[in-house]
Structure 1
Amino acid sequence: MSKNELTSVAWSFFLKVDDEKVRCQLCNKELKYFHSTSGMISHIRSTHENELRELQNENKQLRVRAPRGNPAINYEEATENLIMAICTSGASFQLLKNSWFRKFCRMLDPNFTLPTPDAARKTISKHATSYITKMMEQLSAVDKFFISFDSWEDKYENFSIYVVFLYYTDDQYNKKKVLLGIRSIAGKVTSENIEELATGLLIEYNLDFSKIMGTITDERSNLQGFLNTNGYHQVHCAAESLSHIVTAASEIPLLVEVMNKVNGLVSHLSRSKSERTRFRESSASLKIEGRLPLLFRTDRPGRCISLARAFLAHYESIKSLARGEEFTLSEQEKQNLEIFVQCATPYLEAINQVESDKTFCSEVLIHFASLSDFLNNQRQNNPVFKVLTEQTVHQFQSFLENDIALLTTFLDPRLSYTDGVLLQKSWKDVEKLVESYCADNYRCINASNDQNPEPSAKRKRPSDTHFSKFIESLTQSTVPGSIETEIVNYKASVLTYRVALDSCPLQYWRMNQSRFPTLCRLAKDVLSAPQSSIQAERYFSECAEVVSSSTRNRHSANSLNETLLNSALGIIKRMDTDPQWNEDEESDGESDEEPDAADNFNAWEPSTDPTSYELSAVKEENF
């Protein structure tokens, strides 16, 4: 432990257990120690804020943050992180040649040598190539997969960004997610250029088009032509579908003027820092918790209900504003907004759940069944309920016509054969769909179960009576090893012992591979599909900067794609290191405090051989 580290306030709270661990003296929590106090400071600020304040008041000499000076500087790592800063910020590569910036770096450390712009570009290209090569090798063994498309449009600069992920199930029945890349499309997005984008990515990773099970997109996606031409399944993004329902309810005449005031307050607070400060202080004095009514991304699912909830939660603080009267509601308006929030909150909760990659497409129908049940139990004759009910039934029926939604629900042992999920459909209908799909795609499995069939012994018929013929037809109706037999046995299994709701459905199939070989293969193919194509907001906010600055940086099309890929992988690594980093939507972006000290992360894993870098974001997610 260096002398500089000992001056940090962190050592007033922590004791060093060994060379790799430290322990908090207040709560006994142990943290890994990497010769940096950043993690300890983050823990103290989040858990022992009052104790920290008291200690600082007693001793003004204590440092809140560890000093930046490090006697053992890793110059290679510093160079990599500098290049990542350029990738994720849209800064010009010419910054590396700027005399003032070079002087700044020399003042910090005379021994540090800045890379040239060409060297930085080569490093970015090397990392992108390394990642793609590794993923190509890994994905070559995948049988079937889904791809998801999430997009964002910059209407001012006239370009769109697409984030593309691949989902599959490995041989151990673990659900996996892999980033394929981020691409930009200049001008208007058409079915032709989006098909070119999708095809280009699949070719780049040497992926077999016949292995695509389907895509997860929003229902207005321009991929429709690509899907129809190739016969792929399309799963509508559940978050988008739920958001459409809530948005439709917020636009009824009863709520138009109310939502105008909600959005007016949001715009007013976003424009005026002084009013925002006054509003925040008022909420703090009234002990009102929760996010302030500030801007979300315009295409954020459930945006209207999120803002309406924040508006009502902080309603009393409106009085503190100079223009507060403009946003004050009448009693009737406030009552209407409260009814909307009450009705739509379960939809926001559902949106938050389906956005998680750890959920399964099989849960979509259950969400809609749950929301339908919620509306039926309210028994209110209100226009909001009427619109929500109509839109929910419409979207519900749309998903009930989706083969992947039906197949995944059937193959989820937590949910299969439950009542009230299929509306007018029956589980017999779904069983026929399963039989048909397996007959068309998995004939080899049925054949492999009986490679050397023994000739059946001749049986003497005791008589030709109708009774004897009927009995014989019953005994021969299900052939051992057939998909029909598997379905019968699977139904008996799930109804006899229902697996826990918090368990992973894929693990049920891993343990029953020999018992249900055909159904296991189908489950492995389709249960990798998520419910939503919505990805982390950071991809768009940071990668948009890269696209906007592409002309200034003189990016070629290939160079831009490599930079976007590096930027996305850096974002994944950052989120993996600090999950709360992506939760900026829950704050209003105004803080006088220092930035979070938990910055002990690297965009790329360092290695002694500069040619053998492996992007740490290559690490897949297990579900």
Structure 2
Amino acid sequence: MSAVWKCFTINSDKDVAAKCNICHAQVSRGGTEPGRLNTSNLIAHLKKYHRKEHEDFRTSSKAKQQTSGSLPQPTLAESFARRDKLPRDGKKALAITEKIAQFIVLDDQPLSVVSNVGFKRLIEHLEPCYIIPSRHYIVNKTIPQMHEEVKKCIAAHVEKANAISFTTDIWSSDHRPLSLLSLTAHWVDADFTLQRAVLHTREFTGSHTADAITNAMEEMLHDWKIDKKKVHVILRDNAANMRTAMDQLGVPSLGCFAHSLQLVVHEGVLSQQAVSDALANGRKIVGHFKHSPKAYSSLEDLQIELNVTPKRLQQDVQTRWSSTKYMIDSLIHQKRPLHAYSSEENNTLPANQWGLLEKTSKFLTPFEELTTLVSAASATTADVIPSVHALVRFLSKESEDVWCVLRKKAADNRKRFNSLYLFSFSYINLPSRWRDDQGIQTMKATLLDAVHRRFRHRGNTAGSTYFTNLENLGHAKAALKAAKEELKTTPPSDVSEPVNKTPRMEGASSSLGSIFDEILEESSTAAGPSEQITTGAICKMESYFCEAPIERKNNPLHYWSLNQARLPTMAATAAKFLCAPCTSVGSLAQRQLSLRSTGAG
């Protein structure tokens, strides 16, 4: 109720005039109908004849507005400004709203950001006429519209692809206690550029049986209208349920190479009793300093006193061998301060365990480099055999005790290691039982990699840069010819050259890089007269094999983009086999993007 009624009296709400309690005058209420009555004349009467009471009225009204939180009546300028606000469904307002939604989705911002004072002030400064929508409007309308548009765009690209590879994995959400199954597509487009997109992420309830995984994958492929004939290969982990599920699905599948590396490290090194005991003592030391601020403060003082770069000791996660290496490295880096600290506290490792951890760290270094190498976005199945070849050669040059133990353990557990045994010691010379499985896929991809295709001839013995077994090489070339026949195409009329050369891999390795160069140099210097060819004397496929390899830093897809007019069928075959990554890391690396882009969770 308005404070003006302290100075006026009416008999009923329908009275068209009010009596002034001060001068007893009758003041019109501004109309003759109840719906048109107001207090404007009453306030004007106070202002003209009773200034003191009018000032009291203004003070009382202002205090009431501040208490209730109501806004004062807008001025004429404010009314015009409000009238000029952008309509929510206008083109400019919709564009701004979409950008705000992209900011929330791509940068993983909370939806409540649209209600934050600082964000509101920023938008008000940038566009005063824009009205920020509520979080409910963005989550219920804007984001679903964006999702549909992106899905249509990806579906159009996927439909054009001749062959698609996938990565899939089951993982736990960081936000809620639930399991999620993700599916990421990889393909080579018409410009010979490797593309990747997260297609689906769905909640995966119940037991993770092979049948449940098969049904979920069937639904995902059906939702995206992807024919199984277009599926080149699916990268999954090495678990039995995943392997069985892909067999039941009726699509080719490969085990994650990074997972194989992880199993080799765990089974071959970290599970050894001596190494395990040393790691257990190392964890106790790290735990001591992490749980005692006083102890860590003393260690920091010793680091400064001994001129050692202050660094925190890292605790490892036992399921991630790379974190174990980082823990070992942090202990070795702080060895002198830890020795100085232990002179008072008697809390350090025996000398033999320090030596063992140093050897273990040295041994794990190439594995870490290789894991980074094959987990790059540009890595494909063509990198598996060359990477293994380089790793085995690098390790064979070392005389560390750990390597000798690994060799013995792998030899004693061939059944359990299966592909890991082949990976560690005989991956290049695959036995016949592997030719129709993972081995043949990786061999065909390697032959289509313009870096690793070169063949060498020494006397009467011929082989490739990474294939020393002629029987396996013959099977791989025969399989590649069969795959090429299935993808016969007509040469394109116009082929444009890419502007820039794409780097082959992200994060070049220092130790293994020299081994790769060494192997390729051997291939280049081993070429003999038998590699001289004449036009028409050898088929185009053999002609391709005899060409000099491109530099390792270049992307083989760039080579096929330049040569697809000359070798159209080979280029189409390469696009199929080089679209497959060698790990399922892409599926895990994109898990947050999966959640945001599909709306799962």
- Partners of 1:306 and 1:348 within 8 A in 2: no
1:432 is aligned, of 464, 478, 503, to: 478
1:190 is aligned, of 197, 205, 209, to: 209
C-alpha spacing 1:294/1:81, structure 2 compared with 1 (3 Å): farther
- Partners of 1:302 and 1:351 within 8 A in 2: no
For structure 1, list consecutive stretches of 5 or more residues without a partner in the other structure: 1-72, 449-479, 544-560, 569-623
Q: Does 1:352 align with 2:372?
A: yes
Q: Partner residue of 1:565?
A: 598
2:545 is aligned, of 491, 497, 500, to: 491
Q: Percent identity?
A: 15
Please give the per-residue CA displacement for 1:551-591, whole angstroms capped at 9, x wherever unaligned: xxxxxxxxxx87463699xxxxxxxxxxxxxxxxxxxxxxx
C-alpha spacing 1:306/1:136, structure 2 compared with 1 (3 Å): same
Please give the per-residue CA displacement for 1:287-309, whole angstroms capped at 9, x wherever unaligned: 55597442466544633323222
Q: Partner residue of 2:556?
A: 505
Counterpart Cα distance in 1 of 2:452 and 2:240:
29
- Partners of 1:170 and 1:176 within 8 A in 2: yes
Counterpart Cα distance in 2 of 1:447 and 1:116:
53
2:467 is aligned, of 413, 422, 425, to: 422
Q: Partner residue of 1:520?
A: 571
- Partners of 2:171 and 2:180 within 8 A in 1: yes
Please give the per-residue CA displacement for 1:368-425, whole angstroms capped at 9, x wherever unaligned: 1112112222244x25433157646432446843222111111112112455633546
Q: Partner residue of 1:199?
A: 218
Counterpart Cα distance in 2 of 1:183 and 1:275:
46
Counterpart Cα distance in 2 of 1:157 and 1:213:
33
Q: Partner residue of 1:337?
A: 357
Kindly state the Cα deviation for residue 88 of structure 1 after the two structures are TM-superposed. Answer: 3.8
Q: Partner residue of 1:159?
A: 178
One-letter code of the match for 1:395?
F
Q: Partner residue of 1:219?
A: 238
Counterpart Cα distance in 2 of 1:163 and 1:285:
51
C-alpha spacing 1:314/1:388, structure 2 compared with 1 (3 Å): farther
Q: Partner residue of 2:450?
A: 413
One-letter code of the match for 1:139?
V
The residue matched to 2:204 in structure 1 has which SS? Answer: strand
One-letter code of the match for 1:428?
G
One-letter code of the match for 1:505?
P
1:310 is aligned, of 330, 334, 344, to: 330
Q: Does 1:135 align with 2:186?
A: no
- Partners of 2:454 and 2:549 within 8 A in 1: no
Q: Partner residue of 1:394?
A: 422
C-alpha spacing 1:229/1:81, structure 2 compared with 1 (3 Å): closer
Counterpart Cα distance in 2 of 1:320 and 1:162:
50
Counterpart Cα distance in 1 of 2:183 and 2:465:
34
Q: TM-score, normalised by structure 2?
A: 0.62
Q: Partner residue of 1:210?
A: 229
Q: Does 1:147 align with 2:175?
A: no
Please give the per-residue CA displacement for 1:83-115, whole angstroms capped at 9, x wherever unaligned: 549x947x6x7x699xxx678877988886450
C-alpha spacing 1:334/1:96, structure 2 compared with 1 (3 Å): closer
Kindly state the Cα deviation for residue 279 of structure 1 after the two structures are TM-superposed. Answer: 5.0
The residue matched to 2:539 in structure 1 has which SS? Answer: helix
The residue matched to 2:550 in structure 1 has which SS? Answer: coil
The residue matched to 2:263 in structure 1 has which SS? Answer: helix
Q: Partner residue of 1:464?
A: none
Q: Partner residue of 2:387?
A: 367
Q: Partner residue of 2:72?
A: none
C-alpha spacing 1:284/1:114, structure 2 compared with 1 (3 Å): farther
One-letter code of the match for 2:387?
H
C-alpha spacing 1:160/1:292, structure 2 compared with 1 (3 Å): farther
Counterpart Cα distance in 2 of 1:198 and 1:113:
40
C-alpha spacing 1:193/1:362, structure 2 compared with 1 (3 Å): same
Counterpart Cα distance in 2 of 1:272 and 1:481:
77
- Partners of 2:186 and 2:580 within 8 A in 1: yes
Once the two structures are superposed, the pairs formed by residues 35-74 of structure 1 within 5 Å of their partners are none
One-letter code of the match for 1:304?
T
Once the two structures are superposed, the pairs formed by residues 447-466 of structure 1 within 5 Å of their partners are none
C-alpha spacing 1:389/1:347, structure 2 compared with 1 (3 Å): farther
For structure 2, list consecutive stretches of 5 or more residues without a partner in the other structure: 1-92, 125-129, 411-419, 456-463, 493-534
- Partners of 2:454 and 2:546 within 8 A in 1: no
One-letter code of the match for 2:229?
S
C-alpha spacing 1:521/1:369, structure 2 compared with 1 (3 Å): same
- Partners of 2:165 and 2:233 within 8 A in 1: yes
Q: Does 1:76 align with 2:84?
A: no
Counterpart Cα distance in 2 of 1:368 and 1:290:
37
Q: TM-score, normalised by structure 1?
A: 0.60
Kindly state the Cα deviation for residue 436 of structure 1 after the two structures are TM-superposed. Answer: 3.5
C-alpha spacing 1:521/1:339, structure 2 compared with 1 (3 Å): same
Q: Partner residue of 2:581?
A: 530
Q: Partner residue of 2:498?
A: none
C-alpha spacing 1:106/1:410, structure 2 compared with 1 (3 Å): closer
Kindly state the Cα deviation for residue 141 of structure 1 after the two structures are TM-superposed. Answer: 0.5
Once the two structures are superposed, the pairs formed by residues 61-140 of structure 1 within 5 Å of their partners are 76=97, 79-80=100-101, 83-84=104-105, 88=108, 113=132, 115-117=134-136, 119-140=138-159
One-letter code of the match for 1:122?
K
One-letter code of the match for 1:133?
K
C-alpha spacing 1:84/1:362, structure 2 compared with 1 (3 Å): closer
- Partners of 1:417 and 1:427 within 8 A in 2: no
Please give the per-residue CA displacement for 1:419-447, whole angstroms capped at 9, x wherever unaligned: 563354642232122233334x33x5599
Counterpart Cα distance in 2 of 1:109 and 1:512:
51
Kindly state the Cα deviation for residue 143 of structure 1 after the two structures are TM-superposed. Answer: 0.4
Q: Does 1:170 align with 2:221?
A: no
Kindly state the Cα deviation for residue 136 of structure 1 after the two structures are TM-superposed. Answer: 0.8
The residue matched to 1:353 in structure 2 has which SS? Answer: helix
Please give the per-residue CA displacement for 1:272-320, whole angstroms capped at 9, x wherever unaligned: 5665566566556655559744246654463332322232223334357
Q: Does 1:238 align with 2:271?
A: no
C-alpha spacing 1:177/1:388, structure 2 compared with 1 (3 Å): farther
The residue matched to 2:202 in structure 1 has which SS? Answer: strand
**Structure with the larger RCO, 1 or 2 (CA within 8 Å, 6+ apart):** 1
C-alpha spacing 1:179/1:539, structure 2 compared with 1 (3 Å): closer
Kindly state the Cα deviation for residue 252 of structure 1 after the two structures are TM-superposed. Answer: 0.5
Counterpart Cα distance in 2 of 1:290 and 1:524:
49
- Partners of 1:169 and 1:175 within 8 A in 2: yes
One-letter code of the match for 1:142?
A
The residue matched to 1:302 in structure 2 has which SS? Answer: helix
Please give the per-residue CA displacement for 1:196-251, whole angstroms capped at 9, x wherever unaligned: 33233323332222100001122116332332134422222222111222222111
